[in-house]
């Protein structure tokens, strides 16, 4: 079952963010607090959205956290999927596909023309999963990021 996240899900979402970061070998980079997630998802001006995957017993087994982007070429919004995570013991049960299907449904319903995300180059199981659903890598593009001191320096 896929459902829209509610404020009571924030602690579990935070745990899964940490689990995903550990899987991606970057747990040391997680700084987000539960309060920051609560504000981003459910504050006065939500900037992000989340969906929860539950198993047949109602246990949370995964999540998708996303936000809107905008294509100047197409002139419409799209969804940028920041995190998609299914707990290891629940993988292969269709939860990841169900989460992506829900986001695709939202895109179609709202007239959004893109559903995009990034995947680590070494994550072969995820790449195979995404490509099996028809997703294709965007060749010729490299993601750049400003953070920490470089961001502060440029913004000063």
Residues labelled catalytic = 130
- Which stretches within 8-155 are classed as H helix? 10-23, 34-42, 95-110, 124-132, 148-155
Q: Which helix (H) or strand (E) holds 81?
A: strand 76-86
**Nearest CA among 44, 112, 55, 125 for reference residue 81:** 112
**Nearest CA among 87, 117, 123 for reference residue 104:** 117
**Nearest CA among 26, 141, 48 for reference residue 9:** 48
């Amino acid at each position: 079952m896929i459902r829209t996240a509610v404020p009571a899900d924030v602690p579990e979402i935070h745990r899964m963010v940490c689990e995903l970061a550990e899987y991606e070998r970057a747990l040391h980079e997680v700084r987000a607090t539960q309060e920051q997630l609560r504000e981003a998802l459910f504050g006065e001006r939500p900037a992000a959205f989340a969906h929860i995957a539950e198993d047949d017993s109602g246990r949370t087994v995964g999540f998708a956290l996303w936000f809107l982007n905008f294509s100047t070429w197409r002139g419409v919004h799209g969804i940028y999927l920041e995190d998609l995570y299914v707990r290891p013991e629940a993988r292969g049960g269709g939860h990841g596909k169900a989460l992506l299907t829900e986001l695709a449904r939202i895109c179609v319903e709202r007239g959004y023309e893109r559903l995009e995300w990034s995947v680590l180059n070494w994550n072969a199981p995820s790449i195979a999963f995404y490509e099996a659903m028809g997703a294709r890598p965007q060749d010729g593009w490299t993601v750049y990021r400003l953070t920490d001191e470089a961001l502060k320096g440029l913004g000063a």
